[in-house]
Structure 1
């Protein structure tokens, strides 16, 4: 199955030397392009500005209800697109909307029970009717890969010019091509770098860099709309910063409640119901259960988020649980929204910056309301989303 779905490439479903090489390359390259640095913030704020402007026009100051999913996806998608292949889409662009829909649908399909049969009995993917979800999943992958192949082809066309002019590369795709060429010229082993690996690495980073952050932000604005008293407290804290046009990362330490609210959103949303597969490195026993070296396991880090022994009344949305007696943000060791260990999310710093800047700046500019009838039901997929909802956005008087 992995071969058919191209799962043996990328950075999520591989291990060993190939995983170490490709993850190290991705980490170093993303850092070079600003992840964790001021350059990253500049790129995020360009998209936040576009998002605020678009929502202001679409909502007509609360006269029109707005569905946030597509605009948020466009904002977050442009940030990762910029880093992967120097590409961005205007708000409302149909191509970006389609890409977001494909990622959402893929997330839902892979959690269908029939996927278990496809994995354990690959021959079921050949049986008409029974293989319908498999065929749909493969069609989604085909469309996503076609988009990525288009980006790679455009880079290939310009690569000779960039190489001759010795221009600085500006995205991960060019950096990948540069690394391959560097190794070939120096007589070094090219390792696991090839065109298919590039395409699947881009797919993994595109999905991971977009889906999780977009889903968290969908929950963020629904939760504060459903909890107007908390929304008001956060906005009062933002207003205490005075007359500034934008909230930047420099203000983060002055906004403990805003930080605590984002933490609580991540805890309540708990968007990753299943962790990625892990392989047991050393045979061991835990609570009477034996795990042999090489066994595949799924460590359920997410259950910590709802553990009443760690979080009192875990079903209640309460940002104050992340604040200490001095009103400083409290570190809770069991709060692990980005997982833990060597497979911890490689885009954690980018995601944290996006969540803070998008959330704080939208609440600075808008009061967000939803009807009481809007559902909080959890829609299961590879990530857990809220149902599609529309909200009322009213410009705040600053």
Structure 2
């Protein structure tokens, strides 16, 4: 069973969009740390310097993943680290649909197959366990060699957090089939305040079978300072995998620069300034994402409530007739239309492995926080950022653009009731 190309006839989507932008100024203490390390002339060792690796161990220990004898390594971004992991494990890769845009190019670069598995109705980030088992069976029956499943306990692009039981069932199914699991926990530290959302790492459930990967540009570093860390299973097999990954990072020259290593160490140590900034940023993005979600539902679109990150995944399928009147018939058209109308990146769902024909896209909250450093700082420090003129204008623009796509009678009620419920109501 070879995976189909969702973009056939429109040109292949070889590379996806970057992570949703933070839209906030760099923490001053972090900028000073980077500047102070810029004069270093010696190269950092492949896999990261000892201080960085020790900071990473402490980071995971505070989240209930005491490394113990587990190996830890670092790389200049999540993509190079996942590439090394995929190369070290070999075989074909399974991912949920949709999934982060940066997961699949590495696999294709290695000449491996990627198989997308539908997600459960209530969340993204993990495959439906029964669909996963069926996919593994079919791939093997047709001569494939599935070895790796990648999951996200806090997801991009859907901004959802799988319930613990759903996550457990999916990972249990994968482990039962002999797959290694990579848990992408890039957005783990961006859970929105308010809802009683529980996040567990698969490594807590199946410690011998899960490698944890964290791209620090999710909740801690700006995109200009790419760094990522991996924690391998505390087993002999985990040691071998870590050694193989380090070999690949070394051979490909995927080492951190001194300023980036210093920045990564600083944020992983989680001092008062780092944790305070992260908490403020998470709360801000959570409020704006909730407001954006309300606007989507009011316009007649579909979207699961955002629970993490700085983004929202939207299905405008119910507005297909009005979109078709504007020449928008698939996800690429939708991306082009909304990017032009909103003046900010709105990647279509096909960038994340979703069906090209579905009218889905990811909306980011970062571009709504202001266009100048002063406006962004005001957004971060305001007790009511939604009342700030620049944030209110940005949300009003989104409301206006979405409002063009629906008749007044199609709009949902003030609480998001009516035609636009909070879950996916279209077929996945």
- After TM superposition, the score normalised by the length of structure 2 is 0.31
Structure number with the higher helix fraction is 1
The one of the two structures with greater contact order (alpha-carbon pairs below 8 A, sep at least 6) is 1
- After TM superposition, the score normalised by the length of structure 1 is 0.33
